[in-house]
Structure 1
Amino acid sequence: MEGGVHPTDASAFRDCVSLAWRNPYVLRLAFSAGIGGLLFGYDTGVISGALLYIRDSFDSVDKKTVLQESIVSMALAGAIIGAAFGGWLNDRYGRRFGLLCADFLFFIGAVLMAAAPKPSVLIIGRIFVGFGVGMASMTAPLYISEASPAKVRGALVSTNGFLITGGQFLSYLINLAFTKVPGTWRWMLGVAGVPALLQFVLMLALPESPRWLYRKGREEEAIAILRKIYSAEDVEAEIEALKDSIEKEVEETGSSEKIDMIQLMKTKTVRRGLIAGVGLQVFQQFVGINTVMYYSPTIVQLAGIASNQTALLLSLVTAGLNALGSIVSIYFIDRIGRKKLLVLSLIGVILSLGLLSAVFQETTTHSPPVSGLETARFSNFTCRAFESSGPSANWDCMRCLKGSDCGFCASSVDKAIGTSWTFLGFGVISVVALLFVLVFVPETKGLPIEDVEKMLEERAFQLKFWVKRPQIVKKNSQV
């Protein structure tokens, strides 16, 4: 991801808007590849609503939480495999080919889910969708970064994140649209094949990554693509930067095709950058966002909202705010910096998780039991649906909520540590993530690749970050 030098106070967001008029070809590349992020976001959001109706269709799923958890988590298991295999596929056959494969697998998974006659087929479909999501989630930002001008690279790569959250918001809208349609969850899950098919068609008309082409010895093709991406005054410098970068790879490893991982890990710059990058990705998953997005309607129902439609509608607020946060980050990422945004967002995450934990703890400890024996001391007042259910009926919190208009009730059935402790655990992880960012993640706003490497090489343990960079760094960045 070679980068030219650009001023530290430039607004990449404003430049992106300007670029849309001057060179729409670049935005076409970015948004076509970014549909891979839309697939990821749609799958994350759609299963949360579809699961409510899947439970109604299959008694085994409704009675066994392990099946519910398998339906949700098998996509993530497939994504792990897809991402690992996608790395090899990208290097061997190209970024464009990797996205095409991801779209094909996702489409197959969507068809299997929509037509699933039993939970096992649904789980298989989720695995295929996971394969596609995993490959697309690591290929799309790579393709965008290698096919974007350096000046707006940060903002364009951020569009992938925006499309992830946008896909989540879209999934809740589609879930609401199909709540009254026969087949409900089959339509919800089947529609996921549409963006996959759209991206497949769009990618057929787009070129391969210029960096990948150059590494494969196809210099003329790479240069032709670079001339479409960059302006006439910048293209020659970018061609030279790409050439120097590939030659440096060959000089260090003996080949631009083979990378000595052991040698790379011995390099201080690479090791520190890898720790920061991988650490951020790990913490991003472990602060609990996927739990909220996958189970948002269920969480709303646990708070006392029995209606599926109402739970989906309220979950739309969560998805909308998530998408709004992505837009805000695109605007501010090159204005106030990456690290400051990370710190501010993590503080918000910690406060939110603390509030969720406290609220669920309060409601659980004060919720009335539903058995006739335990409610006798309340003058025999209990849930009307429970009274008419009969002595042999299986009863739990969700059945109580769906069968009456009473308030919150809590059930310890099938929960190992409970809702409150679950969110508290995520909160503790978020605090650790905040400390990690403060210590291990440097601010790279406005710095060319050369300065970032130098900073990683000389970086010492320090917590200060909310200060202006020395004037000498600014001057070097503006040369």
Structure 2
Amino acid sequence: MNSYKRNAFTYATIVALGGFVFGLDAAVISGATKFITKEFNLSAIQIGTAVSSPAIGVLFALPLAGIFSDKFGRKKVLIGIATIYLLSALFSAFATSFNGLVAARFLGGLAFSSLSLASMYIGEIAPSKWRGKLVSMNQINIVVGLSAAYFINYLILQLAGSGEAWVQNIGLADNTWRFMVGSEIIPAFIWLILLFFIPESPSWLVYKNRSDEAAVVLEKIYDKSEIPAQIADMKESIETSVTSENKQSIISQLKEMFSSRYSKIVIIATTIAIAQQVSGINVVLFYAPTIFEQLGNGTDAAFMQSIYTGLTGIVFTVLGLLLIDRIGRRPITIWGLVWTGLSLLICAYGFSQARYTLTEEHIAEIKQENIIDTTQLQSLVGVEFDSDKAFKAALVKTIGEKNTRDYSSTLIQKAGIISAGLILFGILSFIAAFHFSIGPVMWVLFSEIFPISLRSIAIPTFAFVTSISSLLVQFFFPWQLENMGATTVFASYAVMVLIGFVILYFYLIETKNMSIEEIQQKLIKE
């Protein structure tokens, strides 16, 4: 590897570490949810609020991310974001109330804009032939962070139940969820320090008429003979996409972005931004133990199966990274959506075949384990329920909402007759499809299809669209699971994904091995 390529990979890797912090921040709540629910006696809507509060925070941050990155530069804004991640982790770990926890996680959501800024920075600093791989590194770090979160949660859960003296001394058994959400502190601090060693984006420097400084940065990632042409291309992109007057006006940039000239870009960006999230990916990732408990395997097994989702994500993200510049963005996206939709339908079918029946043997086991007063459960013995929704509704009527929330996973484990293997296969297939295709490809496309002068507005704008979709999916999932059942939830995700497939099949072009200027020539209406 020559020094130019090494430098480009080094800078991209440092910035992409923010994806690891994001993944860790986003997924540790999956293990903490059950403990937080018990400690603060949360309803389904409150659980959804706790999990989705970062998605609310990012809605406020994304419009400002573009403004600040244009005004202060990509590097300074990334440093500010890393600081916010660190503070959020500290405040979450020491939260003393539900509202305090929501506020701390909302603060962390302000830092989630790191995903759009990371793809922007990497796309601007990466040579075109490496852009797909380097931008996809952000997605790899996200899934590594997710996997690390599941592993950390499982490790903490095992230690909390070990009974070891040192575990009791540090309060891990009584504060399990605090150790889970606090696990982000160290990686957030490391990322913050490393960001001081990256250069500013050369595209931003050219945008600010600081071409001499841009040339100094480009010398680290290009041969000197290529630098004048690179700077000329950047200037041409800026000059041809928006007027000098418009450069200073955010409203003018947005009007330009949503003009008929860019209609094809807007359709592609909007569709993939929505399809990526309405697939339910963040439901599976952020509520993993909750979903796996529906399979009837108990809490420990649910946490272990969550690790499987993380490992699957890593394997297929790496595979996608290796193939994205060979296969191309379009086939990976189009057929990845088909794979995703079919996987979700497998999950929906598996849950539709489940049946739930409590027997006298189950009641005897529950009584022996002293889990809950079995007197109220006697009325359910021998009654068969054809869905998790119907079974939980019956539990609410007999033992109340609080006991149902606290003990439904144990009761499902005993009463459920379910194709756990089929559903697990469907979920892992879904994770593989997402991380091979629309997971990393969305950010690659975002780094490619927008012109330089509009990119700082366009990428946060469409990241805002995907964040709105993510927020709605995360927030309503606990309520949907209670009121609609797993079958309907997964089937609805599949339908939305297949709609995205149809739209992108007709609009998405191939962008591999093309410069940003060449992509614009194909997408922009003159």
The answer as to 2:356 corresponding to 1:367 is yes
Task: Provide the C-alpha distance between the structure 2 equivalents of 1:178 and 1:338, rounded to a whole number of angstroms.
Answer: 39
Cα offset, 1:412, TM superposition: 11
Matches within 5 A, 1:285-324: 285-307=277-299, 309-324=300-315
Task: Provide the C-alpha distance between the structure 1 equivalents of 2:516 and 2:416, rounded to a whole number of angstroms.
Answer: 54
What is residue 116 of structure 2 aligned with on the other side? 138
Deviations 1:84-129 (A, max 9, x none): 2212111121111211121111111111110112222111111011
The structure, 1 or 2, with the larger RCO (C-alpha pairs under 8 Å, 6+ apart) is 2
Cα offset, 1:383, TM superposition: 2.6
Task: Select which of 425, 442, 463 maps to 2:492.
Answer: 425
What is residue 35 of structure 2 aligned with on the other side? 53
Task: Select which of 241, 244, 257 maps to 2:248.
Answer: 257
The answer on whether the counterparts of 1:107 and 1:196 sit within 8 Å (CA) in structure 2 is yes
| Aligned residue type for 2:14 | S
Deviations 1:366-398 (A, max 9, x none): 211x4xxxx6xxxx5543355561546545376
SS where residue 219 of structure 2 aligns? helix
| Aligned residue type for 1:94 | G
| Aligned residue type for 1:314 | Q
Matches within 5 A, 1:455-474: 455-457=522-524
SS where residue 220 of structure 2 aligns? helix
The answer on whether the counterparts of 1:385 and 1:404 sit within 8 Å (CA) in structure 2 is no
SS where residue 120 of structure 1 aligns? helix
The answer on whether the counterparts of 1:386 and 1:400 sit within 8 Å (CA) in structure 2 is no
The answer on whether the counterparts of 1:384 and 1:404 sit within 8 Å (CA) in structure 2 is no
Gaps of 5+ in 2: 161-171, 377-398, 419-477
The answer as to 2:512 corresponding to 1:445 is yes
What is residue 324 of structure 2 aligned with on the other side? 333
| Aligned residue type for 2:518 | D
Cα offset, 1:132, TM superposition: 0.9
The answer on whether the counterparts of 1:249 and 1:256 sit within 8 Å (CA) in structure 2 is no
Cα offset, 1:238, TM superposition: 1.1
The answer as to 2:482 corresponding to 1:415 is yes
Q: Which is worse superposed, 402-411 or 113-122?
A: 402-411
The answer on whether the counterparts of 2:363 and 2:374 sit within 8 Å (CA) in structure 1 is no
Structure 1 residues 278 and 448: CA distance shift in structure 2, 3 A: same
Q: Among all aligned residue pairs of Structure 1 and Structure 2, give the percentage whose two residues are the same amino acid.
A: 26
The answer as to 2:44 corresponding to 1:65 is yes
The answer as to 2:169 corresponding to 1:169 is no
Task: Select which of 23, 36, 42 maps to 2:24.
Answer: 42
Task: Select which of 94, 112, 115 maps to 2:91.
Answer: 112
Matches within 5 A, 1:127-276: 127-133=106-112, 135-179=113-157, 180-181=159-160, 182=172, 183-249=175-241, 252-254=243-245, 256-258=247-249, 260=252, 261-268=254-261, 270-276=262-268
The answer on whether the counterparts of 1:178 and 1:188 sit within 8 Å (CA) in structure 2 is yes
Cα offset, 1:354, TM superposition: 0.6
| Aligned residue type for 1:138 | S
The answer as to 2:351 corresponding to 1:383 is no
| Aligned residue type for 1:248 | T
Matches within 5 A, 1:14-53: 18=1, 23-53=5-35
Specify which structure has the higher proportion of helix. 2
The answer on whether the counterparts of 1:215 and 1:257 sit within 8 Å (CA) in structure 2 is no
SS where residue 367 of structure 1 aligns? strand
Cα offset, 1:248, TM superposition: 3.4
The answer on whether the counterparts of 2:93 and 2:182 sit within 8 Å (CA) in structure 1 is yes
| Structure-2-length-normalised TM-score | 0.75
**Aligned residue-pair number:** 423
SS where residue 217 of structure 1 aligns? coil
Structure 1 residues 414 and 223: CA distance shift in structure 2, 3 A: closer
| Structure-1-length-normalised TM-score | 0.82
Structure 1 residues 48 and 235: CA distance shift in structure 2, 3 A: same
Task: Provide the C-alpha distance between the structure 2 equivalents of 1:246 and 1:315, rounded to a whole number of angstroms.
Answer: 45
| Aligned residue type for 2:234 | L
SS where residue 445 of structure 1 aligns? coil
Structure 1 residues 30 and 407: CA distance shift in structure 2, 3 A: same
Task: Provide the C-alpha distance between the structure 1 equivalents of 2:184 and 2:346, rounded to a whole number of angstroms.
Answer: 33
What is residue 9 of structure 1 aligned with on the other side? none
Task: Provide the C-alpha distance between the structure 2 equivalents of 1:132 and 1:185, rounded to a whole number of angstroms.
Answer: 21
The answer on whether the counterparts of 1:215 and 1:256 sit within 8 Å (CA) in structure 2 is no
What is residue 392 of structure 2 aligned with on the other side? none
Task: Provide the C-alpha distance between the structure 1 equivalents of 2:517 and 2:197, rounded to a whole number of angstroms.
Answer: 34
Task: Provide the C-alpha distance between the structure 2 equivalents of 1:438 and 1:70, rounded to a whole number of angstroms.
Answer: 35
Cα offset, 1:330, TM superposition: 0.9
Structure 1 residues 203 and 176: CA distance shift in structure 2, 3 A: same
Task: Provide the C-alpha distance between the structure 2 equivalents of 1:397 and 1:304, rounded to a whole number of angstroms.
Answer: 15
Gaps of 5+ in 1: 1-17, 460-479
